[in-house]
Amino acid sequence: MCDDFTAVADDATLAKRGLSRRDFAAISAAAMGTLTVSTACAAQGNGPALTESTVTITTPDGKMDAFFVHPAEGKHPAVIMYPDIAGLRDAYKVMARTLAASGYAVVAVNHYYRSAKAPVMNTISEFFAPEGREKLGPMMAKLTVPAIVSDAKAIVAWLDANPAVDASKKIAAEGYCMTGSYAVRTAAAVPDRVGAVSSFHGGGLVTPAPDSPHKMLKGTKALYLFAIAQNDDKRSPDDKVALRHAAEDAGVGARVEVFAADHGWCTVDSAAYEQVEAERARTLSLWNYGKMG
C-alpha cells in the first residue's frame, strides 16, 4: 500500500526524470485534463460509442457516488473498479473508459463516500503531502471490513438492476493499492456473482488476521490475478507464496506474478506508472474477465 516506502521509491523515479513531486503533481493534473478528452475520443473512434454518468448507489450507510461508463448499446458484463488510496478522480475515469471500450459496464466507486463526495484528491501526489495523509486518515478509519463487505453487496445489487448490465454474466471486481483487498472481499461477499478478481499492486492481502483477504478465497468462485509490484515483493517476499498456497487450498484459479514495475505502476497519474507493464496487467485481467460465465 502507498506509504513512506513507496513515497521514497516514487521520489527516486521522479529524480531520474529531473522532477520534484510538486513538479509532477502540476504536470499530472494538467495531463489528466488532456487524457480525459483524448481517451474519450479514442474510445469513440476505435471502439464502441460510450455512455457515461455520475451515479448514486444506495448502501446501508448512505449514498455512494460513482462514475459509470459502458457501451452505449446493448447489455454488457460489469466490472467494479475500486480506486487506490487517493480515491475516485480523473485518473480512474480515464482508466474506466479504457476498460469500458473493451465491452464492459464499469462502475468506478468512491469508497470514501461516508466522508465526502469524489474527488477527495485530484491526483495521487496529494496523498504524499502531510496534509494529504492527515485528510485521509479519518476517512480511511471508516473503511472497516464490515463496511467494505456491505458496500460490495450494495454495488453488486445496483449493477444487477442496471439496464446496461448483462446480469446473466458474472461480475469482475478489481482494486488498486489498498483496494486490491476490497476486490477479494467482494468475491467473498457475493460468491455466486463475482467471477473474476484483479488486484493491481494490492496491499493488505496477506495479514495475520483471521479475516485476512488471502484466507477469504475458499468459498469464492472467481478467477484471480494478483499483480504484484517489484518493490512490494522485495519488502514482503513471502506474500506471493501465501497467495499461491491460498488459491491452491481454495481450489480457485489464480495467477500470482511479480511485475517489472514499482507500486502504483497501473495508475495513470502515478509517478510509478509504467505503460508496458500496465498494459500487460490489463491484458491478463481481460483474459480472466472473458472467462467469466
pLDDT in tens, 225-254: 999 999 999 999 999 999 999 999 999 999
- pLDDT at residue 84 greater than cutoff 60: yes
Backbone angles phi, psi at 29, to 5 degrees: -60, -40
Choose the weakest-confidence range: 43-47, 62-66, 108-112, 198-202.
43-47
pLDDT at 118: 99
- pLDDT at residue 256 greater than cutoff 60: yes
Give percent above pLDDT 70 in the chain. Answer: 85
Question: pLDDT tier at 47 (50, 70, 90 boundaries)?
Answer: confident
pLDDT in tens, 120-137: 999 999 999 999 999 999
CATH of domain 4-290: 3.40.50.1820
pLDDT at 251: 98
Cα–Cα distance for residue pair 255/258, rounded to 1 Å: 10
C-alpha neighbours within 13 Å on the C-beta side of residue 61:
20
pLDDT at 66: 99
Average pLDDT over residues 73-100: 99
